[in-house]
Amino acid sequence: MQHLPSYEIIRQRLLAAGLSGTQLTAALSAIHDSVDPDDQRIVITGMGVAAPLGVGVEPFWQQLLAGKSGAGPMTLYDMGDAAVRIAAQVPDFDPRNYMDAKEARRISRASQLAVAAAREAIADAGIEVTDDNRHRIGAMIADGSSSAIDTEQAVETIVTRGCAKVNPFYITLSLPNMPSCQVSIQLGLTGYNTTIATACAASTQSIGEAANVLLRGDADIILAGGSEAPIARLSLASFGAARALSMRNDDPQGASRPFDVDRDGFVIGEGAGVLVMERLSHAKRRGARIIAELIGYGTTSDAYHVTSPHPEGLGAARAMQMAIERAGITPQQVDHINAHATSTHVGDIVETQAIKRVFGDYAYNIPITATKSMIGHLTAAAGAVEAVTTILTLRDQIIPPTINLHNPDPLCDLDYVPLVARKATVNVALSNSFGFGGINAVIALRRWEG
């Protein structure tokens, strides 16, 4: 992934400064010779996951490959009279395994999940945070709807007990930047810190933008990803009113069915995914184990509608094209796509159209998987967890299945790896994320062969 300013921009600036001929050639040659190519490459050296199907990368991965579903009846909270009573919850999660019990009570579930995933990721990367390096390690953890359950409980407290009884920590636990801040606080990271909140595209954008932070030298290491805990009556009622959620309360494990003709909406989920990202030159200096390389990133806006994608998939297609071009590859070099694939009627059709627009007839040769068929839709965290899934696909050369795909929609006629995982040669893969408001984000990842 090459960072701007490009050599063409530098050349134009030198021309504007009056250099020409041999002076220009000598200046450009000197710049080229002084640039370490490894400074322009971004690699992933650690990963962490706290999501439906399990806490921890390897348990999560084995469940995915087995085609298990993380959806089930709601157990976290009382759902009252909510019409939708199913969700994809993180099983057996105890935040006290990752932080002080008192601290855990004062932060949101989204922050708790983020810290759990971040701790696994930084340990996986073999990084010890010290006084010498903490100021060069940053966090970019995306968040979306912030803390719906805490907002719901605060409002209920005001109505039933009065304003004086509201949790004094409500503001600091519900702000959307808190998962990123809590990762920095709990791990002692004093470097770059920010939050992207672009709905379902947020954590994919965090990964792409983290690469730019690293390339411009603002940090040596970034923990990038996303966290979301949207399960609450408020979220379920709103998504349900918008007819976005599956109503299969009697069949939660079969409810998320991307590309299937009988799909009726997504299953809301919670979780977190975190990648440790650094420049290749830095990873080499510290002797890191490299898992994969981020080679491209594209992001666009449909500017069309707050919930519906562009009907021809124009923005999604441009984001894929940008990622491919930035990676310096051809469409025919893409071996796999981890689709956004929410299991909504319009979304799955439009994504299929967008893939065909980018790849033409070659689209029929690309194995595509829908991780959300197994873990539901983690909204702002979805892209990060799906990036982890894509990297594991590159690592192990096996593609997880799209479960519940028994009756493919005739308008969704590509190879979606139905029902059973598939061994395959995967050197380059895309991971797609498309969010409310028309935000599209795509990353291109390459297998690391070292």
Considering only CA atoms, which of 117, 98, 393, 394 is closest in space to residue 275? 117
Phi, psi torsion values for 100, nearest 5 degrees: -60, 140
List alpha helices for 250-409, DSSP H: 280-285, 314-327, 345-359, 372-375, 382-396
Tell whether the model's pLDDT for residue 341 goes beyond 90. yes
- For the whole prediction, is pTM greater than 0.95? no
Catalytic residue among 282, 310, 336, 340: 340
Beta strands in 177-291 (DSSP E): 193-194, 221-228, 271-279
In the numeric block, which tokens belong to residue 376? 């539901």
pLDDT of 296 > 80? The answer is yes
Structure tokens at 381: 């965290």
pLDDT (tens digit per residue) in 350-359 = 999 999 999 9
pLDDT at 326: 94
Q: Which of 200, 310, 336, 412 is catalytic?
A: 200
Cβ contacts of 201 within 8 Å, gap of 6 or more: 299, 383, 433, 434, 435, 439, 440, 441
Residues carrying CATH 3.40.47.10, the chain:
41-285, 297-447
d(CA 220, CA 6): 21
Select from 3.90.1150.10, 3.40.47.10, 2.40.128.120, 3.40.50.300 the CATH code of 297-447: 3.40.47.10
Q: Does residue 4 have a pLDDT over 60?
A: no
- The pLDDT of 93-98, averaged and rounded, is 95
CATH topology classification for 41-285: Peroxisomal Thiolase; Chain A, domain 1 (3.40.47)
Active site residue 200: yes
Q: Are 269 and 376 in contact (CB under 8 A)?
A: yes
8 A C-beta contact, residue 228 and residue 376: no
Token pair belonging to 370: 């829908």
What spatial distance separates the first Cα and last Cα of the chain, rounded to whole Å?
17
Active site residue 340: yes
* Active-site residue identified among 282, 310, 336, 377: 377
pLDDT digits (tens, 9 = 90+) for 183-218: 999 999 999 999 999 999 999 999 999 999 999 999
**In the predicted structure, residue 243 carries a pLDDT above the cut 60:** yes
- List, for residues 262-286, the tens digit of each pLDDT value: 999 999 999 999 999 999 999 999 9
Q: Is 337 in contact with 355 (CB distance < 8 Å)?
A: yes
